[in-house]
């Protein structure tokens, strides 16, 4: 029960998807579409496990008077705030509409937090570039050189430092060549490798050879 049924379920569902790809006839396609919806439904149940876990950890911190217990309180308050507002006070299904309480929280708290976190990337990109700049081996140098050419080639700066070359033979042109050919070639090799890795891993999972995701060896 604990081991066999999960393996059988995995195999049945996986093989259904495989077959429906080649056999459009009923019921293969309907089944695979249904299975795809199942994920959404199961995850909608499961997300409460996560929420409960977050609350359990936060309450424990408060209870144990952990060093940062005050911040656990803010987590608890914000979680319940948006939950209660979103489920009960935002017009039900119209919760996303402009002017709902949920939307207000989204625009004034969630969205600036998210956008600022994203914007921090500008600084992290800078510090990562700086580290790459100090790299001493040949591979890292090639990486850095390509990065520099593409970055400079996408701005007027690139053509400005190569102004003495004839038009059409400047850094932006070199940048195009790197982006459209060298870069694409490397991307392709990576993508092909990924497809092979996925086919192989999927096959091992469907056949039950790979079961470490279920905790088995």
Partner 1 sequence: MANKVASGIFIIVILPFLIWLIHKKPQPPSVSYPPYDLTAVLTPYDTAGSVTLSWFTLEGDDEAAAYFPDYRILRSQYQQGPFEEIGTVSFDVPRSTQISRQFRDIAVVAGGDYFYKVVAEVDGEIIESNVFGPITATPGPAGEEPIEVPDIIAFPPTQLKAYDTPNDNGGSITLEWKISASDAARSERFKGYDIYRGASPDGPFEKVGETTSGVSDSERQVKIIADGRDIINGVEYYYYVAAKWNGYEANSEIFGPVKSSQQWFHTGRGVSLVLLGLLIGSILYFINRAKAGKELFIRKIGGLEAVDEAVGRATEMGKAIFYVPGIQDMNNMQTIAGLTILGRVARLTAQYETKLEVPVSRSLVMVAAREIVKESYLNAGRPDFYNDDIVYYLTDDQFGYAAGVDGLVIRKKPATVFYQGAFFAESLILAETGNSIGAIQIAGTAMPAQLPFFVAACDYTLIGEELFAASAYLSREPKLLGSLKGQDLGGKLIFLSLALIFVIIATLGAFTGSEIVDTIQRMFNVN
Partner 2 sequence: MSSEFGVWLAAFFTIGIASFLYKDNPLYKFCESVFVGISAGYWAVALFWENLIAKMFDSLGISYFFGLWPEKGALQDIFSGVWNWNLLHILAGILGIMMLLRLFPKIGWIARWPLSVIVGSTAGLWMITYFQSNFLSQLQKTVVPLFDIGRINELSEIGAAMSEQGRAIPFDAYFAAYLGNLILIFGTLTGLVYFYFSKEHKGVFGKTAKVGIYFLMITFGASFGYTVMSRMSLLIGRLYFLFSTWLGFVN
Nearer CB in complex with partner 1: 169/187:
187
Please list every residue from 87 through 146 that binds partner 1, using CB under 8 A: 113-114, 117-118, 120-121, 124-125, 127-129, 131-132, 143
Of 105, 60, 62, residue with least CA distance to 80: 105
SS3 211: coil
Judge contact between 176 and 153, C-beta under 8 A: yes
Nearer CB in complex with partner 1: 93/134:
134
- Rounded CA-CA distance 80/106 in Å is 14
Question: What is the 8-class DSSP label of residue 99?
Answer: T
- Rounded CA-CA distance 130/71 in Å is 34
- Rounded CA-CA distance 61/72 in Å is 7
Position 84 contacts partner 1 (CB under 8 A): no
Position 156 contacts partner 1 (CB under 8 A): no
Q: How far is the CB of 178 from partner 2 (least distance, A)?
A: 5
Please list every residue from 164 through 203 that binds partner 1, using CB under 8 A: 187, 190-203
Residues in touch with partner 1 (CB under 8 A): 21-26, 28-30, 39, 42-43, 46-51, 53-54, 57, 113-114, 117-118, 120-121, 124-125, 127-129, 131-132, 143, 147, 187, 190-205, 209-210, 212-217
């Amino acid at each position: 029960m604990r081991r066999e049924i999960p393996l059988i379920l995995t195999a049945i569902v996986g093989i259904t998807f495989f077959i429906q790809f080649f056999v459009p006839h009923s019921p293969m396609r309907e089944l695979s579409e249904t299975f795809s919806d199942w994920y959404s439904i199961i995850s909608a149940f499961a997300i409460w496990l996560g929420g409960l876990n977050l609350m359990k950890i936060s309450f424990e911190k408060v209870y144990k008077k952990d060093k940062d217990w005050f911040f656990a309180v803010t987590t608890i308050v914000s979680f319940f705030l948006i939950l209660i507002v979103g489920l009960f006070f935002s017009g039900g299904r119209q919760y996303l509409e402009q002017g709902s309480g949920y939307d207000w929280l989204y625009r004034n708290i969630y969205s600036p937090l998210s956008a600022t976190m994203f914007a921090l990337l500008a600084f992290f990109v800078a510090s990562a570039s700086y580290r790459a700049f100090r790299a001493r081996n040949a591979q890292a140098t090639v990486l850095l050189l390509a990065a520099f050419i593409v970055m400079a080639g996408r701005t007027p700066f690139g053509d400005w430092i190569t102004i003495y070359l004839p038009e059409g033979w400047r850094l932006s042109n070199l940048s195009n060549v790197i982006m459209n050919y060298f870069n694409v070639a490397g991307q392709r090799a990576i993508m092909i490798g990924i497809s092979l890795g996925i086919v192989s891993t999927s096959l091992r999972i469907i056949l039950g050879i790979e079961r470490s995701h279920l905790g088995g060896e």
